[in-house]
Amino acid sequence: MCGRFSFNIPKEEVEQQFDVVLNQNLRESYNIAPTQHAYVITNENIQKLQYITWGLIPYWSNDGKNTGRLINARKEGIGGKPSFRIPIRKRRCIVLADSFYEWRRQGVEKIPYRISLKSGEALAMAGVWDVWFKNDYAIKSFSIITTPANKEMESVHNRMPVLFTEKELRTKWLSDIDLATTQAMLRTAEDDILNIYRISQKLNSPKNNMAELHQEVAEPPTLFD
């Protein structure tokens, strides 16, 4: 699962890593939550950065409401799910972030962790998007595709986003490919590429959105420390 992520990437870095030309300042956020907006690059226009809603609203939705229930799309069976059947074939995207967050349960507590790439590069998370129309009003939205966790992530959670760390994979994902090729790309990230550390439980509230959420918090000592 991926329930929160952050975006704090310099404009120049986004342009260089993702081959887009930006004419606007980018909005940073340290706590992007479901139903909020985030930056994506879609197969509709691979040179444009779009700012759309997190939580897929299927084109066939009756009311166009974003309930936040479709923030993630499990790779298993994605080709047959009603909400994702068309998007995985026709509407793929890359979701940009500098890190994502996950929680580890400790008794009744939920302990948050920040996950980023050891390389320091921006994250390119595999996603699907859709557009809902009514009376000339349109809402674009997206979902992040998840896969079983790699070795590093298993200590925190059993799921993680599909990550494209190579430019060639990002280009291929946004190209005209068939379903079999698409599904073959939905692989768990290799081991030993992630930086994972505990952060403040202030992250648990979407109302908190500040740089402090990126700061490491020490793990409590154990009986044997």
Catalytic residue among 15, 76, 102, 154: 102
Beta bridge partners of 20: none
Residue 166 annotated in active site: no
Residue 32's H or E segment, with its range, is: strand 29-32
Phi/psi of residue 88, nearest 5 degrees: -65, -25
Name the nearest CA neighbour of 52 among 119, 138, 124.
138
Three-class DSSP labels, 57-73:
CCCCCCCCCCCCCCCEE
CA-based torsion, 135, 68, 34, 46: positive or negative: negative
Both tokens assigned to 158: 């059993």
Query: What single-letter amino acid sits at 115?
Result: I
d(CA 166, CA 17): 10
Q: How many CB atoms lie within 10 A of CB 160?
A: 25
With a CB cutoff of 8 Å and minimum separation 6, the contacts of 76 are: none
Catalytic residue among 2, 76, 152, 219: 2
Name the nearest CA neighbour of 91 among 153, 140, 37, 22.
140
Could you tell me how many residues make up the chain? Answer: 225
Residue 121 annotated in active site: no
Active site residues: 2, 102
